[in-house]
Every structure is written in C-alpha cells, then in structure tokens.
Structure 1
Amino acid sequence: KRLADEGCKLVIGVGFMLTDAIKEVAPLYPDTYFMLIDGVIENPPPNVVCYTFKENEGSFLVGALAGQMTKKDKVGFVGGMDLFIIHKFEYGYKAGVKTVNPDCEVLVGYTGNFTNADDGQKIAKQQFDAGADIVYHASGACGLGVIKEAQARGEGYYAIGVDSDQDYLAPGRVLTSMIKHVDYAVWLSIESVLKGTFKPGIVSLGVKEGGVGLSPMKYTKDKIPPEVLEKVEKLRKMIADGVFKVPATEEEFNNFVPPQIP
C-alpha cells in the first residue's frame, strides 16, 4: 500500500505469504501493477499477474543427477513446512531418482519451518546416518544446516541446494542447486509494464520456459561422469518437449511411469 501511495508503477511481492495482501490492496490501486511470485490469486484483477514455478520439473533433474551419483542407492530429501509447494519439490525429486535408479531409496523428513538451520542439520544427520550420501533440501534457511552437515561429513557426501546457486556455500560438497529463476520472472514483468503489454493472470515457468534448472556446478562438474550429465540433459529436453509430465503430488507420483531414455 505504501509503495502504491508513493507512485510505484509496479509493486512486486515475493512469496505466497503476500497473497492476501496483494489481493486486498490491488483493487484499491487500479493504476498500479502488482506482481506476485510463488502465490496464486484466482481470477486476479486486471492489474495483477501471478508467477509460479514448476519446481517439480527442476527437482526431477536434480533427482536424476542424485540417482546416478549415489554410491549407496540411498538419498535424502529435507523439506521445510509440510505444504503443497514443498511437495512439488519432493515428488519431482523422487520421480527423477526413480527414473534413473529404480532401486534407490529416498528418505524424507520435514523440519516444520523455514528458519532454523539446526533443524535442517539434525534431519540431514539422521539421513546420512541412515545410509544416504546425497541430501536435497527445499527448506529455506534450514537448508544451511543440511549443507553444513554435508560439509562436515566430507568426501563422498553431498547436499543439493535450492532456489539460488548455493554451490559456493560449501564448494565441492554441494553437488548442484535447483535454481528458480525469479530474476527472469521479475524481468518479464517489468518488461511487460515498460512495453505496455502487461497481461493479468497466472504464469507458470518450468523447464521449457527457462524458469527452473540446475546450477552450473562450478565446483563439482569435473567429478561428474559425462554420461551422467548427458542423461540429465536428455531428460531436460524430454520435459521441455512435453514427452512426459513430472509429478507434483503424491497421487501423481504413485501413478508415474518413468520414461524410456533414448
């Protein structure tokens, strides 16, 4: 409201917790554009656009990498709060693992929050102790604890980061990160306002749209066999081409039939 009062042409809200605020304020400022990231307003007003991401697709790719790189046929997943948006990460990851390594077990734990790194480290420790050698997190700041635990374990153990490129947090111990290109969504929204092409509605960005993908793996790429990366790239192209649909829910995962990789 304050930003709209100050005359901002575009107000950007990042995070689903701002959904109600934008829903309430946007109709009061019809000459101001509003962009909501990671939240959905059904039938939004003409000045509101919502951007979501197909986190399940990006998570599928890190799962396909983890499923090939594990030496123990056991990997882990640490989620934050038990919400639909985090389930997208979990089931996409599981589907990726299953596609490349059907014998691999996926251990799952939730911290119940997005803020306590100690909680993330505790669950990662449990999963590593139970035999996992790679743990992917979608848990906000809790993930710093997951990465810390992988770093403490040393050689042979990896964390997988999320949202931004977290590889630098523990060089060589973060296998990759599942990047959500929020910057790209913001750029698209700003461009539409500047060009006068703004359209209200809900936009979902996945692999095909360039909304999700893997980090450049600056510190680990030389440790990953080329054939492993080739398989991940083949799967990325298959998703982009619509050859198969990546599950986002438990029901979709239970009905998921892994694709044949050419």
Structure 2
Amino acid sequence: MKNNKRWSIGVLLFSLLLVLAACGKVSDTQTSAANEPEKIKAVFYVNGTLGDKGFFDSTERGMQKAGKELGIEVKTVEGGTNQADWAAGVESLVSSKKYDVVVAGTSQMVDIAKDIANRYPDQKFIFFDEIVTDVPNIYSMLYSQSEGSFLAGAFAALVTTSKELKAANADKVIGFVGGMDVPIINDFKAGYEQGAQYVDPDVEVVASYIGDFANAPKGKELTLSQYNAQKVDIVYQVAGGGGLGVLEAGNALGKYTIGVDANQNPLYPGSVLTSMLKNIDASVFRALDLYKQGKLPFGTNEVLGIKEGGVGIAKDDLYNSHVPQAIQDKMIEIEKKMESGEIQVKSILK
C-alpha cells in the first residue's frame, strides 16, 4: 500500500513538473513574440497603371526589392488614368492608418500629396520624380532628367550624323515625343536639345506631345508623322505608357528610337538603340532602407544626377551589338566630362 502511495505521489509530481515546463515554454514564446518588432508597411500608389515597361514598373521593382531584402511589407495600388480619382485614392490609404509610409510620385501628384500630408501630419510620404518643399512629413527626390536627356540628345545627334548606321538619313533632324506639355517634360526636352547642340549645332529637334501618358496609339501616330513628314530618323520618347507607341512606330519603319526611365532596349532590339535611365527602382529602395534605419530626412529633398547614379543611359549587350564603337566611345567621353563638371547642363526647373 505504501508503495502504491509513493508511486502515485511520484506520478503527481512528475505531471506537475510537465505542466510547469509547458507553462514556461508558452511564456517564453509570448515574450519572444512581444519583443519582435512589427514589420514596416509601405504602399505604392500608382497614379496610372503598371505595365508601362518604364517609369511605374521601375518603381514597382524598387518596392518588391524592399519587400524581399529589407523585410518590409509592401503593397501596390493602381489608381488608374482618371485624375479625378487620385486624391480620394491616396486619402483612403492614409485614413485607413494601415501604412507607415506612402510612396507616390510625378508632378501631377504634388498638390494632392501636399494637401493630404498637411491634413495627416503623422503619415510619412516618400515622393519621387518631383521636389516637394515645406512639408515636414514628406521626403522627396527628383532625378536630373535634364542631365540624363543631355546624354540622350548627344546620342541622337551622333546617330543622325552617323555614316555607319543604315537607317540614319542625310538630314540632321531628331525627334522628341513627350506625354504632356508640362515643365518636367520640357526639362527633358531642354536637356535633349542641349546634348544635340553639343555634338552638332546644326541638328534640329522636332517635338510633339501626346496629351497624356497612356495613349500609345496617339504616340505611334505622332512618331510616324515625324519619320515620314519631317525627315526624323531617331525619336526620344518621354511619355510613359504612351511612349510604347513611339517605340512601336520606330520598329515598324525600321527607324531608331530612345527609350526612357528603364532599359527598353529589349522591346525592339536594333530599333531601340538605348534608353535614358531614371534609376527610380534603386532610389526608392534606398529611401525605404533609410526609412527602416530611421535615417530618412523627412522635410527635405534631393536631386539625383549622373554623379549620384540617379540617371544615365542603358548600355547592355544590345547596345554593344547595335551601336557603332565610335558612338560608344564618344558617349563615354561625354559622360566623364559631365561627371567632372566640365559639361554643365541647364535645367528649366531651376
């Protein structure tokens, strides 16, 4: 009987130890979960749609990279092309209080961002492709499109005067197709003209505007007109999704084009000879990384040029295959002079 009693007491003690151990484990897990920092949540509001193979798609790559490499929880919302919807779209994201930081951009969104940021002072914003001033909860960055476009203009002038490229005609005329006739697009144009004039003062620039950044058929129509009626042999597109029609027109006629924002050379190899790069993906990733570290200087802005790696031209295998070596060498020379400050590019925005 005593043995049975001892055995029962032993079982009871053992069971008690198991319960205490189990409680200890739950407590440790709860403590660990409590100490684990919450993920930063960032949302990218697209004042348009993805699929432009350039501007917005580049931003999206930066967001996705931040998600994978920085552990940030990212989301993208496409606002569509109706500008009347954009303000309500951004405010719905902000008022939900789900996101630590809102990523948005373009000159068309400046007033919307400023208004909402002022009414929601606790919400942080990362704004790209335009300078926003005097708003303490917005960090903004502008890419020196005039510098990048200077390279595009110099390249276009070298192409139109080349004797090695079969589709380059005898006339020194190059084209420009912009999305809208607005200051930021005209800053691209100004840089493009300066680059062309640097190479050859006799080069003429023909410019057309689509009227928006989505109408690819209109972009194609304007470009075909430049090729057929105005003796253009290379066109630089600065028109977002509408610019895809520009590139299509160049390929259809066997002429040359220059892409924008991202490397669009692979879209029509041998027709798109290079692309002016706005390294939006890298800059958005950099801003989110600084935000995560608590080092992003809200209330300030930066201009990212060639020296800072903010802009450049695409030099991939296709560029090496289709662009004559003499033009490649000249472009390297021009870039070095810009980096050193020997070549100064004027921006109409300053």
TM-score, structure 1 length as denominator? 0.88
In the alignment, structure 1 residue 193 sits paired with structure 2 residue 291: yes
Tell me if the contact between 2:173 and 2:232 (Cα under 8 Å) persists in the aligned partners: yes
**Maintained 8 Å contact 2:173/2:206:** yes
Give distance in 1, aligned partners of 2:267 and 2:212. Answer: 21
- Residues 1:24 and 2:123 aligned together: no
**1:179-207 CA distance string (max 9 Å, x none):** 11111221221121111112121111111
Asked whether the equivalents of residues 273 and 323 of structure 2 are also in contact (C-alpha less than 8 Å), the reply is: no
Extract unaligned runs of 5+ from structure 2: 1-90, 161-167
TM superposition shift of 1:115: 1.6
Where does residue 148 of structure 1 map in the other structure?
248
Which among 149, 152, 158 is matched to residue 256 of structure 2? 158
1:178 aligns with 2:276: yes
Comparing 2-11 with 35-44, greater Cα deviation is found at 2-11
8 Å contact kept, 2:273–2:322:
no
Of 97, 106, 130, which aligns to 1:39?
Answer: 130
1:87-116 Cα shifts (integer Å, max 9, x gaps): 111111111111112222211111222121
Match of 1:56 among 146, 150, 162: 146
1:137/1:74 CA distance change after superposition, 3 Å: same
Q: Deviations over 1:224-262 (max 9, x none)?
A: 222311221121122222223212339x9xxxxxxxxxx
CA drift of 1:29 comes to: 4.2
Q: Is the 8 A contact 1:167 1:218 kept in 2?
A: no
- The aligned counterpart of 1:229 is 328
In structure 1, which of residues 95, 113, 120 is the aligned counterpart of residue 219 of structure 2?
Answer: 120
* 1:78 Cα offset (Å): 0.8
2:280 and 2:305 map into 1 onto residues whose CA distance is 11
Higher relative contact order (CA 8 A, sep 6+): 1
Q: Please give the alpha-carbon distance, in whole angstroms, between the structure 2 residues aligned to 1:50 and 1:172.
A: 36
CA distance in 2: counterparts of 1:43 and 1:136, whole angstroms: 34
**1:22 offset after TM fit, Å?**
2.1
Q: Paired residue for 1:109?
A: 208
Distance in 2 of aligned mates of 1:126 and 1:11: 41
SS in 2 for 1:8: coil
From the superposition, tell whether residues 249 and 31 of structure 1 become closer, same or farther in structure 2 (CA, over 3 Å): closer
Cα separation, 2, equivalents of 1:24 and 1:108: 34
Aligned pair partner of 1:11 in 102, 116, 121? 102
Aligned residue for 1:35, secondary structure, equals: strand
- Gapped regions of structure 1 (runs ≥ 5): 253-262
Shift of 1:34: 0.9
Q: Secondary structure of the residue that 1:22 maps to in structure 2?
A: helix
Q: Check the 8 A contact 1:56/1:89 in 2, yes or no.
A: yes
- Residues of 2 paired with 1:93 and 1:24: CA distance? 33
Identify, as 1 or 2, the structure richer in helix.
2
CA distance in 2 between partners of 1:153 and 1:6 (Å): 51
Q: Counterparts of 1:186 and 1:162 in 2: how far apart (Å)?
A: 17
Matches of 1:216 and 1:110 in 2, distance apart? 27
The equivalent residue for 1:83 is: 182
CA–CA separation in structure 2 for the residues paired with 1:140 and 1:107: 19
Task: Select the structure of larger CA radius of gyration.
Answer: 2
CA shift, 1:77, in A, is 0.7
Q: Deviation of residue 210 (structure 1)?
A: 0.6
Q: Answer yes or no: is the 8 Å Cα contact 1:18–1:39 preserved in 2.
A: no
Compute the TM-score of the two structures, normalised by the length of structure 2.
0.67
Change (3 A) 1:144 1:40: same
SS class of match (2:317): coil
Instruction: State, as a whole percentage, how many aligned pairs show the same letter.
Output: 35
Query: Which residue pairs with 2:159 in the alignment?
Result: 69
Deviates more, 1:24-33 or 1:239-248: 24-33
2-side partners of 1:95 and 1:150: how far apart?
A: 23
Which amino acid in structure 2 is aligned with residue 234 of structure 1?
E
Structure 1 contact 179–214 (Cα < 8 Å) conserved: yes
Cα pair 1:79 1:138 within 8 Å, conserved: yes
Residue 30 (structure 1) shift: 4.0
CA contact (8 A) 1:9 1:33 kept: yes
Question: SS at 2:301's partner residue?
Answer: strand
